[in-house]
């Protein structure tokens, strides 16, 4: 399947004028570069970044006793 897609892309691009082929190549290079970029940050930095994107009003909806009563919130066990 993957090689079929690559072949289809090749067939479509090769009919374009050279300047437009170069433009397509630039787009592909950007996609490949973004895909191959490795995130070397520690996991706590990644979590902090993701957490910072959550609005405060959503954080306020979380239970304050989640660490003690996680079985209640996950499985419906009696609260402690």
Q: Which residues contact 16 (CB under 8 A, 6 or more apart)?
A: 24
Residue 1 in this model has a pLDDT that exceeds 70: no
Q: Which domain does 45 fall in, by range?
A: 2-75
* Mean pLDDT across the chain: 92
Residue 21 lies in a domain: yes
Residue 34 lies in a domain: yes
The domain total for the chain is: 1
Per-residue pLDDT tens over the stretch 22-79: 999 999 999 998 888 888 899 999 999 999 999 999 999 999 998 999 999 999 999 9
Place of tokens 């691009």: 13
pTM of the model: 0.44
4: confidence class by pLDDT, cuts 50, 70, 90? very high
Residue 80 lies in a domain: no
At residue 36, the pLDDT reads 84
């Amino acid at each position: 399947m993957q090689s079929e897609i690559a072949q289809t892309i090749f067939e479509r691009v090769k009919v374009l004028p050279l300047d437009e082929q170069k433009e397509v190549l630039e787009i592909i290079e950007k996609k490949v570069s973004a895909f191959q970029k490795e995130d070397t940050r520690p996991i706590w930095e990644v979590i902090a970044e993701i957490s910072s994107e959550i609005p405060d009003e959503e954080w306020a909806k979380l239970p304050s006793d989640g660490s003690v009563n996680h079985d209640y919130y996950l499985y419906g066990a009696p609260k402690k």
